[in-house]
Amino acid sequence: MSLPDLSVAELQAKLRARELTPLDALDALEARIAAVDPQVQAYLSRDLETARAEAAQADVSLPLGGVPIGIKDVINVTGQPCTAASKILAPYRAPYDATVIAKLRAAGAVPFGRLNLDEFAMGSSTENSAYQPTRNPWDLTRIPGGSSGGSAAAVAAREAFATLGSDTGGSIRQPAALCGCVGLKPTYGRVSRYGLIAFASSLDQIGPFTRTTRDAGLMLNAIAGRDPRDSTSLDQPVNDATALLGRDLKGVRLGIPKEYFVDGMDPQVRTAVETAIKQCESLGAELVEVSLPHTEFAVGVYYIIATAEASANLARFDGVRYGHRADAPKDLLDHYKRTREEGFGSEVKRRIILGTYVLSSGYYDAYYLRAQKVRTLIRQDFTNAFAQCDALVCPTSPDLAFKLGERTDDPLRMYLADIFTIAANLAGICGLSVPCGFGEADGKKLPVGLQFLGQPFDEARLLQIAHAYEQSTDWHLAAPAL
Amino acid sequence: MSSPELDVRYVAHLARIDLSDAEITQFQSQLGRVLEYVEQLKQVDVSAVEPTAHANAVYNVFRADEPLPSLEKSAALANAPRQANGLITVTKVVE
């Protein structure tokens, strides 16, 4: 096993035993990135010099002491670029640390590297990046999922021990599934979003990518908690997310939402997920069939609410205070219109226009207000389901990783890739994806993800369940050949 | 298919984005399909349902009205595309 193969927990043990130094870890990672990132293209930029200076000072006795962490390029780190994979933020340098970065630093971690994404986190394939597509480490002709495709691919390709991403409709869990790593979307309000470039404010949440469920718990411990700078972060006790790891599944009731096993899902995904669910049963879990009757409306609700909120959030990109500005505008209107035309890519423009339309006078009630009401019904579905079980188990994505370019001309088909992940954001609950096997296409093995969904603020239990499953398999140990 | 209601050119003006004619045609058709898809929400009876704005809503989040450290002026200006005399330059609004 080479150094970049270590989990965060294993790396920490070696750092604390003085078998390795934080600089060794960082340099090994940089060597790995130099070797494989020309193919994977997970990173948009790296500042090795700053990271080395920080690593040299790191206190390895802290919870994440000396561990380098890759950051999705939508979270501000002082002095670093934060492009959101958009041309409109090409000249921007972050003047402050996001709260999650300040918390990672307080835990001893070293932020290192900026990871690719779909522009402004809008997409499911990372092909909407204005800079480069990221490729799936298991098959370089395929997408890594999105929007946090760089964060997922880097962890899977051993170019990072752990990374941060953001999840608005599945942008952590779906790429984790397609790349074969663990991705955790915490409960809405669990993690501060101060310093995260906002996409849809009632849905966005920051969370970790790791290779093990234990590492996901360690990361969540570092970043969770109420923050006075994010008034939507909730004042809930931050319990140790790893506290329940190692407990078995006896007495755990797992709900299987029948609407999540639909026609049209890839049969290889279905087989892997059904096998995994049987495995949970053999480990002592009790299986309960539950119903989430409004599931079929989740994608429609999401694309109204998320685009509406995005159209408001992205109004701030006006070429005045930061970012790209059009040359020689003839008046203010021309300044705005050309700045935004030149700065935004197609998908971002499409979503701003859809969001502006559904909020516009005469259409607000028919689209936005109605979507908010159906959102209430989707939330109630989960409340009812959790009355019968401790957590839900289902596929993360209906598909294996698809080919680069396969869906770029068909936005609606791309949106439907998020069908199993979106409802958790609408309901504000927590969810994670853990590797549960492989399918095969064109002679290449492609990872499948198992999704567990938990009640608000029940991340420790969710991790306990996922950990018990994970430790009974070898899926999380598989690495792509690069 | 395109939605008869959605006028992409007009909405793009509201959103302050210039679009090429090719983009307008393409978005008209793509967003028409998306709007057609979301028509399914009309099947749901929402007559007695309250809207959800935030999944885990909190209300009246206040803090003590005390000045706290914030960005230095130079840091706040560092990203401005145009600036002069320690101020951000805005494109002229009045004649």
CATH number at residue A61: 3.90.1300.10
The tens digit of pLDDT for each residue in A287-307 reads: 999 999 999 999 999 999 999
Of A344, A376, A412, the CB nearest to B34: A412
Q: Counting Cβ atoms within 10 Å, is residue B2 exposed (0-12), middle (13-18) or buried (19+)?
A: middle
pLDDT averaged over chain A?
97
- Mean pLDDT over A346-350 rounds to 97
pLDDT for res A337 = 98
A-chain CB neighbours of B5 within 8 Å are: 363
- Mean pLDDT over A419-434 rounds to 97
Determine, for residues B55 and A232 on separate chains, whether the beta-carbon distance falls below 8 Å: no
The count of other CB atoms within 10 Å of the CB of residue B93 is 9
Determine, for residues A333 and B16 on separate chains, whether the beta-carbon distance falls below 8 Å: yes
Count of structural domains, chain A: 1
A267: in domain: no
A452: in domain: yes
- Please say whether the beta carbons of B24 and A280 come within 8 A: no
A204: in domain: yes
Q: How far is CA A211 from the centre of its chain?
A: 14
pLDDT for res A94 = 98
The tens digit of pLDDT for each residue in B68-88 reads: 888 999 999 999 999 999 999
Q: Which domain holds residue A223?
A: 3-249+430-477
Known catalytic residues of A?
72, 147, 171
The tens digit of pLDDT for each residue in A21-40 reads: 999 999 999 999 999 999 99
Of B27, B44, B80, the CB nearest to A297: B44
Determine, for residues B71 and A456 on separate chains, whether the beta-carbon distance falls below 8 Å: no
Determine, for residues A188 and B50 on separate chains, whether the beta-carbon distance falls below 8 Å: no
- Mean pLDDT over A139-144 rounds to 98
pLDDT for res A417 = 81
Bond prior to A147 in cis (omega within 30° of 0) = yes
Determine, for residues A234 and B38 on separate chains, whether the beta-carbon distance falls below 8 Å: no
- Mean pLDDT over A442-465 rounds to 98
Distance (Å, rounded) from C-alpha A268 to C-alpha A93? Answer: 44
B-chain CB neighbours of A357 within 8 Å are: 6, 11, 31
Task: Supply A111's token pair.
Answer: 């932020």
Q: What is the CATH number of domain B1-43?
A: 1.10.20
pLDDT for res B1 = 39
pLDDT for res B2 = 44
A-chain CB neighbours of B9 within 8 Å are: none
Is some CB atom of chain A closer than 8 A to the CB atom of B84? Answer: no
Task: Supply A353's token pair.
Answer: 């226009």
A-chain CB neighbours of B27 within 8 Å are: 349-350, 353
The count of other CB atoms within 10 Å of the CB of residue B58 is 13
Beta-carbon pairs below 8 A across chains A and B: 166
**pTM for this predicted structure:** 0.97
Residues 6+ apart with CB under 8 A from A418: A124, A169, A170, A174, A299, A302
A227: in domain: yes
Determine, for residues B12 and A415 on separate chains, whether the beta-carbon distance falls below 8 Å: no
Is some CB atom of chain A closer than 8 A to the CB atom of B37? Answer: yes
The tens digit of pLDDT for each residue in A246-302 reads: 999 999 999 999 999 977 889 999 999 999 999 999 999 999 999 999 999 999 999
The tens digit of pLDDT for each residue in A158-195 reads: 999 999 999 999 999 999 999 999 999 999 999 999 99
| Residue of chain B whose Cα is closest to the Cα of A346 | B23
| Residue of chain B whose Cα is closest to the Cα of A232 | B58
Chosen for mutation from B38, B42, B60, B63 (greatest number of chain A CBs closer than 10 Å) is B38
Amino acid identity of residue A2, one-letter, is: S
Banded pLDDT at A411 (limits 50, 70, 90): confident
DSSP A452: E
B-chain CB neighbours of A356 within 8 Å are: 11, 14-15
Banded pLDDT at B3 (limits 50, 70, 90): low
Task: Supply A103's token pair.
Answer: 């918390």
B-chain CB neighbours of A425 within 8 Å are: 55
Q: Is the pLDDT of residue A373 over 60?
A: yes
pLDDT for res B4 = 56
pLDDT for res A345 = 98
Helix (H) or strand (E) holding A286: strand A286-290
A457: in domain: yes
Give me the interface pTM, i.e. the ipTM: 0.94
Determine, for residues A353 and B15 on separate chains, whether the beta-carbon distance falls below 8 Å: yes
A381: in domain: no
In terms of residues, how long is chain A? 482
Is some CB atom of chain A closer than 8 A to the CB atom of B87? Answer: no
